[in-house]
Amino acid sequence: MKVAVIGSGGREHAICVSLKQSKKVKKIYCIPGNAGTNLIAENIEINIDNFEEIKDFSLENKIDLIIVGPEKPLVNGIVDYLKDFNIKTFGPNKIASKLEGSKIFTKNLCKKYKIPTAKFGVFKSLDESIKFLNDCTFPLVVKADGLAAGKGVYICEEKTQARVAIDEIFAGKFGRADKILIEEFLKGEEMSFFIISDGKTFKTFGTAQDHKRVFEGDKGKNTGGMGAYSPSMLESSSLNKKILDRIIKPTLKGLTELKTNFCGFLYAGLMIVNDEPFLIEYNVRMGDPECQTILPKLKTDFFDIIYACANQKLNSINFNWSEKKSLCIVLCSKGYPDNYQNNIIIKDLNKINLEKNEFIFHAGTKSFEEKIYSNGGRVLNFVVISEEFKKSRDNAIKLINKINWSNGFYRKDIGFKVIN
């Protein structure tokens, strides 16, 4: 089988690594890929927004399956577009992708199907939003409605911060804004909960805890994710049942009543308050860096799972997982998530000899004349699986210290809530 993976981050590198392990996969393409995917797949320089070029390439090269990694092409309808040309594609369609593409769409779905979530209000103008702040208690959360690469969420401790957030969103920091969301702040523990669905049935696909804030101790600005560990410390059979019954199943039912279904990964970002789950937001793809943390624990052939999903035969696959602890640390460019420099050489990466259950996934990298350079804010992901989270973290840090790159920084406390 020939498989094409769309995307260029750590998530896509992890997907390619998992596909490479399948005997059924003869050729992997990554569109456009990075320096890491280039080692195990053929990188194809096509812009992921250019659906026509992706279609032409897929037909010319007789691609058997396309896996869409990032959210933007999904929200913009790439699955619907490729389906018209009978190109088998794994991922949700445009309507289902609104779960991530519009936070307001998801909030209204929660309201209709009584899915537990934070209380919220939708505001259409700057003046209306600011007026509402006069009657609010703090902290509260201000959100851009559309895609914002994980950065369109402001946790505001007082009115001045909320005013800045509202000003920035309506000024177009995350694209054109006709509406914004203001919601109550829920105090609890975050949890990332994943399912995979073929449109008829679904199965759970692991849990994790992400670390969004840029600095140690969960301080500073929100990022795309500074690291993660899996499984979540909160995971239990009773909590999982609540999540499935109160959040996942009503969501899928709601999509069915909209005359659509969900095929792909669905990632529920949750807040657990006194052992009760509340939906914070949905993502319609694997998380990043959660994907890099979860996929290496999968023992079942990953291609078999995805191909079964694309053919609505997920029920025929049994999942087998490692019971060990996985932890990922993201190495970033200095200055991230604000301004940072690209094109800085990363030395000694190829000299690292990885042990079993150690992984380095490339995110923002590119290669030129057999050298590797930084090409993004989040650059490399170091993942270790072991019997305990502390050992995983210690060994991930040892791997980071083996490379020679003075322009990088990382959080040394990933997993601090589960490591004593």
* Model pLDDT for residues 334-373, shown as the tens digit of each residue: 999 999 999 999 999 989 999 999 999 999 999 999 999 9
Global pTM value: 0.94
Res 226: pLDDT: 97
Q: Is the pLDDT of residue 28 over 90?
A: yes
Q: pLDDT value at position 151?
A: 64
Structure tokens at 83: 């389906």
Within this chain, do residues 235 and 285 fall inside the same structural domain, yes or no? yes
Give the residue-averaged pLDDT of 191-218. Answer: 96
Q: Is residue 113 part of a domain?
A: no
Looking at the fold, whether 303 and 211 belong to one and the same domain comes out as yes
Q: Is residue 63 part of a domain?
A: yes
Domain of residue 47: give its range.
Answer: 2-91
What is the model's pLDDT at position 126?
85
Q: 332 in a domain, yes or no?
A: yes
Pair 284, 246 in one domain: yes
136 falls in which pLDDT band (50, 70, 90)? confident
Residue 10 structure tokens:
């750590």
What is the dihedral sign for C-alpha 199, 201, 202, 203? negative
CA dist 206 and 225 (Å) reads 17
State yes or no: pLDDT of 61 exceeds 70: yes
Question: Is 359 domain-assigned?
Answer: yes
CATH number at residue 8: 3.40.50.20
Kindly report the backbone phi and psi dihedral angles of residue 374, in degrees, each rounded to the nearest multiple of 5, phi listed first. -70, 145
User: What would the mean pLDDT of 86-109 be, rounded to a whole number?
Assistant: 95
Among 295, 291, 145, 147, which Cα is nearest to 225's? 291
CATH number (domain holding residue 148)? 3.30.1490.20
Among the candidates 279, 294, 316, a domain finishes at 316
**What span, in angstroms and rounded, lies between the C-alpha atoms of 86 and 24?**
21
Q: What average pLDDT does range 302-318 have in this prediction?
A: 96
What total number of domains does the chain contain?
Answer: 4
Preceding peptide of 32 cis, ω within 30°: yes
Distance from C-alpha of 315 to C-alpha of 276, rounded to nearest angstrom: 29
Residue 420 pLDDT: 73
Are residues 231 and 133 part of one domain? no
Shared domain check, 274 and 209 = yes
Task: Specify the DSSP element, H or E, that contains 19.
Answer: helix 10-20
Q: Give the mean pLDDT of 276-285.
A: 96
CATH label of the domain that carries residue 294? 3.30.470.20
Q: What pLDDT shows up at residue 149?
A: 65
Q: What is the model's pLDDT at position 137?
A: 83
Indicate if 163 and 194 belong to the same structural domain: no
Contacts of 315 (CB under 8 A, 6+ apart): 200, 201
For residue range 31-44, what is the model confidence (pLDDT) as tens digits?
999 999 999 999 99
Using the predicted structure, report yes or no on whether residue 407 has a pLDDT greater than 90.
yes
**Residue 213 predicted with pLDDT over 80:** yes
β-pairing, 408-409 vs 325-333, is: antiparallel
Same domain, 302 and 364: no
Is 294 a domain residue? yes
- Write the CB contacts of 31 (distance below 8 Å, at least 6 apart in sequence): 4, 5, 6, 7, 43, 44, 46, 48, 54, 57
The pLDDT value given to residue 34? 98
CA distance 407 to 97: 36
Grade residue 69 by pLDDT with cuts at 50, 70 and 90. very high
Q: Do both 385 and 290 map to the same domain?
A: no
- The amino acid present at 248, given as its one-letter code, is I
- Closest by alpha carbon to 74, among 147, 153, 166, 123? 147
- Scan for tokens 């490591």, then name that residue: 419
394 in the same domain as 351:
yes
In a domain, 107, yes or no: no
Which of the listed residues 316, 333, 363 is the one where a domain comes to its end? 316
> Would you call 226 helix, strand, or coil by DSSP?
coil
| pLDDT of amino acid 222 | 85
CA separation for the pair 99, 291 (Å, rounded): 19
Do the domain assignments include residue 171? Answer: yes
CB atoms within 10 A of CB 70: 20
Are both 124 and 160 inside the same structural domain?
yes
Is residue 265 within 8 A of residue 205, CB to CB? The reply is: yes
Q: How far apart are the first and last CA of the chain?
A: 46
206 and 302: one domain? yes
pLDDT number for residue 49: 97
Answer yes or no: do 212 and 177 share one domain: no
Side chain identity, residue 74: L
pLDDT at 100 over 70: yes
Which of 275, 294, 316 is the endpoint of a domain? 316
Helix (H, G, I), strand (E, B) or coil at 399: helix
Q: Is residue 420 in a domain?
A: no
